[in-house]
Structure 1
Amino acid sequence: MWMGVDLGTQSVRAVLVDDDGAMLGSGAAPLGGGRDGVRHEQSPDEWWEAVRTAIGGALRDRPPGPVGALAVCGTSGTVLLTDGEGRPLTPGLMYDDGRATAEAALARERGLRVQPTWALPKAMWLLSRHPASAGVRLTHQPDHIVSRLVGRRTPTDSSHALKTGYDLTADAWPHEKLAGLGLAEELFPDVVRPGARLGEVGADGEAATGVPAGTPVIAGMTDGCAAQIASGSLSLGSWNSVLGTTLVLKGVTAEPVHDSTGVVYNHRAPDGGWLPGGASGVGAGALARAFPDADPARLDGLAPAHEPSTALAYPLVSRGERFPFLAPEATPFLLGDPGSAADHWAALLQGVGHTERLCLDYLDHLGAPQDGPLTFTGGGSRSAYWNQLRTDILGRTVHIPRHSEPALGMAVLAAYGAGAAPTLADAAKRMVGLSHVLSPDPARTARFLEPYLKVVGELERRGWLPSPVATHARTRADSLETS
């Protein structure tokens, strides 16, 4: 039995699966937090209590026998400060907290290619308000949970360390550059590759969660990478689109995808190769914001009457965009007046699809291969209507896995890290199943082409989308339409 734990934006999810990926148990617990403009924080103590609840649910009806191993993923770029005993000194600054713009600019001046929402500038922002003292450490979201399970401070994984400035090519912290920012070496954790063994669940961890003491704890990855593992998209040229509160695309390449803007960044795969991708600020969170009390199934049923919608949306969840362009000043927009709530709902669904298409066009602009399968995962993939809509907007075949959650990806990684399979791809092949395949409707793809190009034009007009990228999107649309 293998366990995976996912620290999401709105909840914690834990699953227990067998060697074939069959679900033996699952549990979940909600997360709160505070949003106010560009501010987005959560309580590390709340993370721990939610993890305890979720794991308890996953273990409630498990069959007899040991848990082979577990792994934990978290939101990419979420960071806090802890003391020498691992106790939180600050709230967790979430993946999209946008208060560290000045710190990001300073880091870039020192040669570190970071975005304002990455963990390094946010850690700098925290340190400016909580000056470093003996024992203070920068801690990523899952590290805080793992240390409590194990009972001591553990290394971080290189996947979460990426947005804290870790150099994956050199496999080392760039301490000379970090020192130029006033950041001492002792602030930073040791780093291991995902899939490495971090330790075992301790007595206190067992008492708090019910996971047997001695259970191996395996170094995890970010939630986007975890969802990619859960999708089974681990062959060269394959891509996984994770639609949750926001949108994340992850692919598999033999070499890093180079992007001078830093919009696309590259994780290192647990067993070699590269996992390039980017994280957009659009997603299902925009639906929850616009329709807090909606019945999604009912509105999905009404949305086909509004294809395309009378309004054009760029449905950012909060201020700032990170992919397919970098624009900290970007704000969500809705052009035109929706004729009804269903029309507005349709505009938001379509807006996410248009952004997803632009993300793939941007990856093509960078020369990233896309000749492998495309998979949809994340909470948004539970909507059959939205899946087909996105498939038609993109105009390409899409694979839907049997289970699409990052927690499953962590269970697969735990099995690989514990030695149950020679490669991560082998573990995923055995444990990840395909639900069905969606094919695009050429007529609907053509119907959504004009709205897509209008979105591209509006983003370019506002100065957010670089003109060469907009031109490439138009050229690619012409070539695909001709073919």
Structure 2
Amino acid sequence: MRGRAAFIGLDLGTSGCRAVAIDAAAAPLAEARSALPDSTRPAPGRVEQHPEDWWQTLTEVLRTLVAALPDHRPAALAVAATSPTLLLADAAGDPLGPALMYDDQSAHQAGARIAARAPTNSVARGPGSGLAKLLALHDRLAPTGPYWALHQADWVTARFTGTLATSDWHNALKLGHDPEQARWPEWVGALLPPGVRLPQVLAPGAVIAPLAPAAAAATGLPPTTQVVAGTTDSTAAALAAGLARPGEALTSLGTTLVVKVVSPHRIEAPEHGVYSHRYGAHWLVGGGSNSGAGVLRREFDDATLATLSARIDPEHDSGLDYYPLPGIGERFPRPDPHLAPRLEPHPGDPVHRLHGLLEGIARIEAEGYARLAELGAPTPQKVLSIGGGARNPTWTRLRARLLGCSVLRAPHQEAALGAALLARGAGVDT
């Protein structure tokens, strides 16, 4: 019998798509995943993917997921995706060209135009913002008729519903949407090229529409499935980890290092690389460093990392003063496009070398939370961790010593689960 409800979350990332189904009690029912084609880099700073690749991959994933739910009825779904990945689409929703990915930094001229009009505290400033990508894509594609500016999650949601008019608080932030006033500011309108349409911005988890017949046929989902407004992948990860009250914090130890803390106050400080997402009755304040496990991968594989880490005493300093970066430039907590990595001296002992690198990244994490506290965010009393680095017990103990609080691996690690919680109506109280 297919009477029991299932709630589906999709996490559409850079390299793949994952879907998770949960029941009304948030218990996991099934999951499926598939890889995406690699991003293309046609010019320095340019990073692109084609939206149709996203659609083909997620429909494959959903068909696999639905087949694993013979006794459940998919009731609702939500999408988490990278932000500020953005594309332009015509009035029918067909892409006018490739999407510029979240890490595309090619829109320098557009960034300068925004800087001349945007408030100094707007996170829409800079060549990597969604608004800069919109202006750059307009210049490159020269659309002649009305067209939509859509984030990755917006476009996928539009394919599900047949509606092109919706985004969410979190994806729309770097396009210039004001989450406090819940509107597009006048300065955004003054920058927009002729013909562009911006989506209506809804609270994450708000019901948009049932699945369109074409999407139901492509995915195997019933047409009664309700599509709800989604979120960004990092915010979905915070939902999955269970962050809810001010002072609760989450560190992502992936290729890069991202820190977030729940705050009663909104903090926007782009000069420090800090921004806030509206998070129910609170704000999710954070920043992302270019440091992280990507630096470690250049010197150590997984097996070597585990073996060498077991030989490190995390209760003592290494004596090394590293600022591990993969290259020139840092976003947070020291926003400086010219900041050079500090990776010398190089000791002959690989254990000592790894100790210094782990310690250097942990110091950046501690500096990040200190910077957020200086700006008015709560000082964390406990930090939950996600990502590959969260599985390293030596690093966890070292980080706890430098952070001065308990550090625990988050019980739930996946952004897809956070999206499923939105679909279930749990997580952020909207």
The TM-score bracket by the shorter chain reads 0.7 to 0.9
SS at match of 1:390: helix
Please report how far the alpha carbon of residue 396 of structure 1 lies from its aligned counterpart in structure 2 after TM superposition. 1.4
1:387 aligns with 2:396: yes
Greater helix share, 1 or 2?
Answer: 1
Residue of 129, 137, 141 corresponding to 1:126: 137
Unaligned runs of 5+ in 2: 1-5
Cα contact 2:13–2:233 (8 A) shared by 1: yes
CA distance in 2, matches of 1:407, 1:415: 12
RMSD across aligned positions (CA): 2.6
CA distance in 1, matches of 2:419, 2:326: 26
Matches within 5 A, 1:45-194: 45-112=52-119, 113=122, 114-174=125-185, 176-184=186-194, 186-194=196-204
TM-score (norm 2): 0.87
Letter in 2 for 1:3: I
Cα contact 2:147–2:197 (8 A) shared by 1: yes
Matches within 5 A, 1:431-470: none
CA distance in 1, matches of 2:146, 2:345: 54
Would the alpha carbon gap of residues 352 and 57 (structure 1) be closer, same or farther in structure 2, given more than 3 Å must change?
A: farther
CA distance in 1, matches of 2:363, 2:266: 26
Alignment match, 1:30: 35
Unaligned runs of 5+ in 1: 428-483
Alignment match, 1:475: none
1:298 aligns with 2:307: no
Please report how far the alpha carbon of residue 120 of structure 1 lies from its aligned counterpart in structure 2 after TM superposition. 1.1
Would the alpha carbon gap of residues 95 and 386 (structure 1) be closer, same or farther in structure 2, given more than 3 Å must change?
A: farther
Alignment match, 1:447: none
Would the alpha carbon gap of residues 415 and 246 (structure 1) be closer, same or farther in structure 2, given more than 3 Å must change?
A: same
CA distance in 2, matches of 1:394, 1:315: 18
Alignment match, 1:279: 288
Would the alpha carbon gap of residues 318 and 168 (structure 1) be closer, same or farther in structure 2, given more than 3 Å must change?
A: farther
Alignment match, 2:3: none
Alignment match, 2:227: 217
Deviations 1:140-184 (A, max 9, x none): 01112111222332401121000011111221112x313443434
Cα contact 1:248–1:277 (8 A) shared by 2: yes
Letter in 1 for 2:428: L
Alignment match, 1:408: 417
Cα contact 2:380–2:405 (8 A) shared by 1: no
Would the alpha carbon gap of residues 306 and 237 (structure 1) be closer, same or farther in structure 2, given more than 3 Å must change?
A: closer
SS at match of 1:28: strand
CA distance in 1, matches of 2:102, 2:93: 21
Cα contact 1:282–1:315 (8 A) shared by 2: yes
CA distance in 1, matches of 2:304, 2:373: 36
CA distance in 2, matches of 1:8, 1:309: 36
Kindly tell me the number of residue pairs found equivalent between the two proteins. 416
Cα contact 1:238–1:371 (8 A) shared by 2: yes
Please report how far the alpha carbon of residue 329 of structure 1 lies from its aligned counterpart in structure 2 after TM superposition. 3.5
SS at match of 1:15: strand
Cα contact 1:4–1:408 (8 A) shared by 2: yes
1:227 aligns with 2:234: no
Deviations 1:50-87 (A, max 9, x none): 22233334333224121121111111211112222212
Letter in 2 for 1:190: Q
Please report how far the alpha carbon of residue 244 of structure 1 lies from its aligned counterpart in structure 2 after TM superposition. 2.4
SS at match of 2:204: coil
Would the alpha carbon gap of residues 318 and 120 (structure 1) be closer, same or farther in structure 2, given more than 3 Å must change?
A: farther
Cα contact 1:246–1:283 (8 A) shared by 2: yes
Letter in 1 for 2:216: E
Cα contact 1:37–1:319 (8 A) shared by 2: no
CA distance in 2, matches of 1:54, 1:340: 45
Alignment match, 1:451: none
CA distance in 1, matches of 2:326, 2:15: 13
Alignment match, 2:214: 204
CA distance in 2, matches of 1:182, 1:393: 46
Deviations 1:104-124 (A, max 9, x none): 232122124223322111222
